[in-house]
Structure 1
Amino acid sequence: MMTIVLQLLVLLVAFPYTSGDSSRPKVLILGGGLAGLQAGNVLQQNGVRDFLILEADDRLGGRFLSPCPPEVPACVTEFHIEPSLPSPHPLQQLLERCKIANGTGAEENLVAVDDEGNDVTKEMNEAFGRLEITFTSLLVEWTPEEDDMDLQGSSRLYGWHPQTPVEQALDVYFSDLTFSARSSEMSTHVAVTSIGAAISQAGEYLNYFVKDSRTGFQDIVDCLKNGFLTQSDERVKLNTNVTHIQYSESGVTVTTADGTKYTADYAVVTFSLGVLQHETVRFVPSLSYSKRKTINKFSFGFYTLVYSQFSTRVDDPTSRVDEAPPYYISVTRRRNVYHFFYDAYETIERKVNHSQPNSLFIHWLIGNDAIRVETQEMSKTKAEVTQIFRGFFGRSTPEPENVFVSKANTNPLYYGSSPSFPSGATYEDYDKLREPLGRVFFAGDAYYMAESLNGATRALYSGTETAMAVIECMNGRSCAMKQYGSSPKCP
């Protein structure tokens, strides 16, 4: 009898009920970003309503909402909708269900200016032609059987040696825009698969620019959560920062910053890879060296969007109405610069009947440039972008009325912006990254292997896939995630 009592006491200490809760939830969803919301949505669709979402922020949405400027009534960005992917496509479903105004993007039209204000667009287009030849050869000749290497090295193998300021600026533009990472940080295997997928879907590969007269991204999050959560759903706890996760083969205990403990049979961790790499959440027992090595083997890069809003139209004096909206590239020898930008309103207006009397320029920065801009005074950032605009559009160009900087990289809830598959990582490593710990599963944009997808789509697919894996485990079947290690290319 004493032995039974002691065993019960041990279980109560290891997995105590949360004070105030009448029952122990079946599933704890840790993080209320897109992956967490989609996991809850899929669980409920499959009859599992007994879950609890713990979110450290004061609102749901996670990194998906972090780039959006509050001063701008509509958030403009790109989503990739790929019909070759598993159907139904979760992001396309959301856009349709939420009735979010969107349209396909135009072809790229590059405009380049150097430090002296000279138009070097002709040289840029010539360099772009040479870059296209290199990547055409790379796509045709590179095979999955070759040893992987970084994209910068493989590009040199096939003739791309950026030396002039124009070539160097184009190299940054191409890698930043395509992968949100430097070419020296990218796996060639993944890059070739990504670019090949885009080319093979010519005419079908859609860039959905989201522009809405309401609140843009927030509407998408609201539409997703309102599909399965009520207005004041008790299954959501905001401002709840998880500090410890205790796990075993029989359950999970989560401790928050205020000392509250939550228990469940299963947990879905949707923290960003950056949070796991910074080890701001402790696992009990501690993660093995092998697991920590795998987590840190993958890249979680820094990129920052700088929005500059004008109340008047700011036009390029050299552009023509019949041309596609330009992407502006700064060809410079200076360090810490804004390499390229575009007018989001102008881009969307060419495809969507939504006339705008103003301009909204978006600069895209990565790496050290992103961190520098996130941490400096806003007045300095405003002065820097104003100088760039005057170099392109003339000295009489006014200062932007509003400048907004997304700050996912220095936010301790994220510690970064975008995951990538670096050279040196293998699909076996990827399987180890996704591997559950006892009854702790993982979901998020880093856990769905498809580099050609934007982070929002990867997060939604991952939330679905992980929720279904949890359901399989509940039903006494496999508790493992799908394995990609035997695949010679991206799934």
Structure 2
Amino acid sequence: MKPSSFVTAMAAVLVLIAAQHAPLAAGRGPRVIIVGAGMSGISAGKRLWDAGVRDLLILEATGRVGGRMHKHNFGGVNVEIGANWVEGVNGEKTNPIWPMVNSTLNLRNFYSDFDGVVANVYKENGGLYEEEYVQKKMDRADEVEELGGKLAAEMDPSGSDDMSILAMQRIFNHQPNGPATPVDMVLDYFRYDYEFAEPPRATSLQNTEPTATFADFGDDAHFVADQRGFETLVHHIAGQYLSTDNAGNVVDPRLKLNKVVRGIWYNRRGVVVSTEDNSRYSADYVIVSTSLGVLQSDLIQFNPQLPDWKIIAIYRFDMAVYTKIFLKFPRKFWPTGPGKQFFVYASSRRGYYGMWQSFEEEYPGANVLMVTVTDRESRRVEQQPDDATKAEAVAVLRRMFPGVDVPDATDVYVPRWWSDRFFRGSYSNWPIGVNRYEYDQLRAPVGRVYFTGEHTSEHYNGYVHGAYLAGMDSADILINSVFNKVEFKVRGKYDDLQAAAEAM
């Protein structure tokens, strides 16, 4: 069929939908399709259900529920290859994820002692740096970060004054010519890349100093290591409105797995969603909960094309890559005990197998280590054979422990979030110069097409609680439009400035 004929045919389909959905005006709840069964999509569905919207259909591209919360059996234990931590615990406010994890579901979780890192920084060719030496460098980095937070607080809320974290470091003469030594580099990596999955040159100062998650919910982080999987949380939320089996798995016919959405047609009367298996589903509205990386790819075609302002907003944000590489060994050879959970390799190459984690409490007896890489290194390792990655990682360990008999790893697992067409990355990072205006644009609906995901969370993008709250927020936008006739309004970029001026 020619493109013009196809468009005409789809227009006819939409007219038919309008006739089928005429009762909507008489008070019946709308039909809503949710694209994606990750945290945001499932959270949005729960919010709609609680508001009385019963006609829901969830289309998930993969064969499972959970999205970027995903367990994988490795070395005889289930490890988390995606989201792993509840970040932001023990503050004045309660992270909404924490009670569900720690009380309702009782998922096994462990406090992450990141303060111990300073005592476990290894030189490029073996041996530990003196803790006092590392602590002084960390103290200086803390001081500069605090100065950066004060500078950020003085910036224009429009984002017009924003700068990169790297620029802030230069202003305060912190490593003015770049990290001078491998230990400087790896500590800088630990503070920024390890959290945001991109280097300081790419990350906004204004919107990460302080990071809202820790400022609001507390500085602690708890590592989830339950054999049921962190994704159990998503199943728990889904089970509050979808049918599940005795094991808690969603078996509701309103959830369709292995349905790869490739097209969304929309007009003022309704939507049609097409999938790769040539199925079509009609509804009044659609909520797209795919990752930002998918929105930036060509997986889903919108017809008509999304407006320019929406496309620009989608591309204003970064989709970062965070890769947790798992290695199985025949025996332990690394230091264990209190304060040894994390150890660091200070390479002269930024991000080269730098951040290591052992699992003495989490997976006792498994003899598994995890090393994290991000950004360019993530993309590089995704494109090489796993055996090459295993060899590189073991070589690093042998350099770290030159007097130790380091055996070959018996197995390796390398997640490939960037290469996976259903994700195209791990989570979003807040780039320079973006403020609430761009976030409003990112989550704003286009006609009957709504958007959600951790990338639409103004304060908590990149985190599990951000995805959870974003799903509810986007559902509320739809609910307000349908039932209260309140349309979502994108606030102007300089509204805060104008309001301040008028108040003077």
Give TM class, smaller chain. Answer: 0.7 to 0.9
Secondary structure of 2:107 counterpart: coil
* Counterpart in the other structure of 2:294: 275
Equivalent position amino acid for 2:100 in 1: Q
* Counterpart in the other structure of 2:87: 80
* Counterpart in the other structure of 1:209: 223
Secondary structure of 1:185 counterpart: coil
Equivalent position amino acid for 1:151 in 2: I
User: 2:69 and 2:489 mapped to 1: Cα distance?
Assistant: 24
Query: How do 1:81-480 residues align onto structure 2 when only pairs under 5 Å count?
Result: 81-82=88-89, 89-110=96-117, 111-122=120-131, 123-146=133-156, 147-161=161-175, 162-194=179-211, 198=214, 204-212=218-226, 214-231=227-244, 232-310=251-329, 312-316=331-335, 321=337, 323-334=338-349, 337-343=352-358, 345-346=359-360, 349=361, 356-393=364-401, 394-451=403-460, 454-480=462-488
Equivalent position amino acid for 1:306 in 2: I
* Counterpart in the other structure of 1:52: 57
User: 1:437 and 1:467 mapped to 2: Cα distance?
Assistant: 14
User: 2:475 and 2:75 mapped to 1: Cα distance?
Assistant: 36
* Counterpart in the other structure of 2:4: none
Provide Cα deviations, 1:50-86, integer angstroms capped at 9, x if missing partner: 1000111111211221x74554523363211456687
For residue 458 of structure 1, report the CA deviation from its aligned partner: 0.8
For residue 31 of structure 1, report the CA deviation from its aligned partner: 0.8
TM-score, normalised on structure 1? Answer: 0.85
The alpha-carbon distance between structure 1 residues 280 and 121, as it changes in their structure 2 partners (threshold 3 A), is farther
User: 1:69 and 1:184 mapped to 2: Cα distance?
Assistant: 36
User: 1:243 and 1:85 mapped to 2: Cα distance?
Assistant: 44
For residue 98 of structure 1, report the CA deviation from its aligned partner: 2.1
Query: For the Cα contact (< 8 Å) 1:81–1:206, is it kept in 2?
Result: yes
User: 2:214 and 2:466 mapped to 1: Cα distance?
Assistant: 16
User: 2:124 and 2:283 mapped to 1: Cα distance?
Assistant: 59
Answer with 141-150 or 79-88: which moved more: 79-88
User: 2:418 and 2:234 mapped to 1: Cα distance?
Assistant: 21
For residue 443 of structure 1, report the CA deviation from its aligned partner: 0.7
For residue 336 of structure 1, report the CA deviation from its aligned partner: 7.1
Equivalent position amino acid for 1:210 in 2: V
* Counterpart in the other structure of 2:14: 14
For residue 392 of structure 1, report the CA deviation from its aligned partner: 2.7
Secondary structure of 1:209 counterpart: strand
User: 1:432 and 1:289 mapped to 2: Cα distance?
Assistant: 11
Equivalent position amino acid for 1:104 in 2: Y
Provide Cα deviations, 1:28-48, integer angstroms capped at 9, x if missing partner: 001111111111122222222
User: 1:467 and 1:311 mapped to 2: Cα distance?
Assistant: 49
Provide Cα deviations, 1:270-315, integer angstroms capped at 9, x if missing partner: 0111111113211111112222111111111112110123353333
Query: For the Cα contact (< 8 Å) 2:437–2:490, is it kept in 1?
Result: no
Query: For the Cα contact (< 8 Å) 1:80–1:454, is it kept in 2?
Result: no
Query: For the Cα contact (< 8 Å) 2:162–2:204, is it kept in 1?
Result: yes
User: 1:294 and 1:30 mapped to 2: Cα distance?
Assistant: 20
Secondary structure of 2:37 counterpart: coil
User: 1:303 and 1:266 mapped to 2: Cα distance?
Assistant: 33
Answer with 136-145 or 155-164: which moved more: 136-145
Equivalent position amino acid for 2:241 in 1: F
The alpha-carbon distance between structure 1 residues 356 and 261, as it changes in their structure 2 partners (threshold 3 A), is same
Equivalent position amino acid for 2:407 in 1: P
* Counterpart in the other structure of 1:4: none
